[in-house]
Amino acid sequence: MSGIDTLPPLRAVIADHGLSARKSLGQNFLLDLNLTAKIARQAGDLSQCDVLEIGPGPGGLTRGLLAEGARRVLAIEKDARCIPALEEIAAAYPGRLEIINGDALEVDPLAHLTPPIRVAANLPYNIGTELLVRWLTPEDWPPFWQSLTLMFQREVAERIVAAPGSKAYGRLAILAQWRSSARIVMSLPPEAFTPPPKVSSAVVHLEALPGPRYPADPAVLSRVVAAAFNQRRKMLRAALKGLAPDIEDRLLAAGIAPTERAEQVGLEQFCALARALARP
Ligand code: SAM
């Protein structure tokens, strides 16, 4: 018996349903239900929220979310082998777990969710960053989600929360921090997973802000940041020269020395540069 519900332990679920982990699907499972409940608690008060979970696998985090009181969980899982195990969880929590057998990159979850919505997931490593970037760059802000509580490889987590001047600082930090607050809330060693991955992991919690910290056109900011960090060792006047013929003047107008490198430039300055570039 697990500590958090009356369903069988996850090792038994995996054995009963033949869920041998597949590397191609990024399957590193969490089997300790105390740990999955702890991750669920990092997502905040779930009692009034629908929770979107990507890649529930055998359902360890799903059980944590439900046991911690999530109003409803929508779980999208690509691996059809996991669906019967997830259906057993749905039966134990009537009306609170909806399962979709599909690819999270293709399914539109919004039709299945009622706001307020929080996202919580131990993401498959191969699509984690792509999903995060999508969630951070919707057409309109605020986005459909109130918060994201996501497990990443430690190195990716550090890129999300990085400050200027560090090696990890780049496009992901700016995208994440411009309109959200982002922090690492848990660190997990490889042995927390079955099978253990090669690297450590960390849970990042992002809360959507009502609006951007500094004004900027999202498309212009995205273009500037991509160009600046694509050639991160170059001075900005060189890295950005394709964006405007008078890039030095625009950098100066934004209060940035043209000889600076992207790594040294903070979010506020990048937003000022995006505004300077948007002017005719
Ligand atoms: N949440 C489970 C846990 O914590 O034990 C499993 C996490 S495992 C790191 C990632 C899960 O995502 C696997 O169950 C895998 O089958 C699933 N997955 C991989 N690619 C997916 C995709 N494109 N869409 C939805 N699920 C996917």
Query: Is residue 42 within 8 Å of residue 205, measured between CB atoms?
Result: yes
Query: Is residue 123 within 8 Å of residue 131, measured between CB atoms?
Result: yes
- Residue 188 CA to residue 186 CA, distance in Å, equals 7
Instruction: Identify whether residues 168 and 234 lie together within a single domain.
Output: no
Angle between helices 218-230 and 267-278 (to 10 degrees): 110
- The answer on pLDDT for 134 being more than 90 is yes
Q: Which of 208, 241, 266 is the last residue of a domain?
A: 208
Q: For the segment 215-253, what is each residue's pLDDT rounded down to a tens digit?
A: 999 999 999 999 999 999 999 999 999 999 999 999 999
- Residue 12 CA to residue 6 CA, distance in Å, equals 13
- Residue 30 CA to residue 48 CA, distance in Å, equals 26
Instruction: Identify whether residues 198 and 244 lie together within a single domain.
Output: no
Q: Which protein residues are within 6 Å of ligand 1, measured from CB?
A: 25-30, 54-57, 60-61, 76-79, 82, 103-105, 122, 124, 127
- The answer on pLDDT for 78 being more than 60 is yes
């690297």: which residue's tokens? 199
* pLDDT value at residue 3: 65
Domain count, the chain: 2
Within a domain: 213:
no
Distance of CA 61 to the CA centre of its chain: 15
Report angle CA 161, 39, 137 to the nearest 5 degrees.
Answer: 45
CATH number of the domain that 156 lies in? 3.40.50.150
What is the distance in A from the centroid of ligand 1 to the CA of 156?
A: 17
Encoded amino acid at 280, one letter: P
Domain hosting residue 82, numbered range: 3-208
Q: How many residues does the chain have?
A: 280
DSSP designation for 259: T
Pocket test for ligand 1, best of 2, 19, 78 (most atoms within 8 A of CB): 78
Please report which confidence band the pLDDT of residue 121 belongs to, taking 50, 70 and 90 as the band edges. Answer: very high
Instruction: Identify whether residues 237 and 110 lie together within a single domain.
Output: no
Q: Is the pTM of this model over 0.95?
A: yes
Q: Which of 183, 208, 233 is the last residue of a domain?
A: 208
Q: For the segment 89-108, what is each residue's pLDDT rounded down to a tens digit?
A: 999 999 999 999 999 999 99
Q: Which residues of 211-232 are buried (b: 16+ CB within 10 A; e: fewer)?
A: eeebebebebbbbbbebbbeee
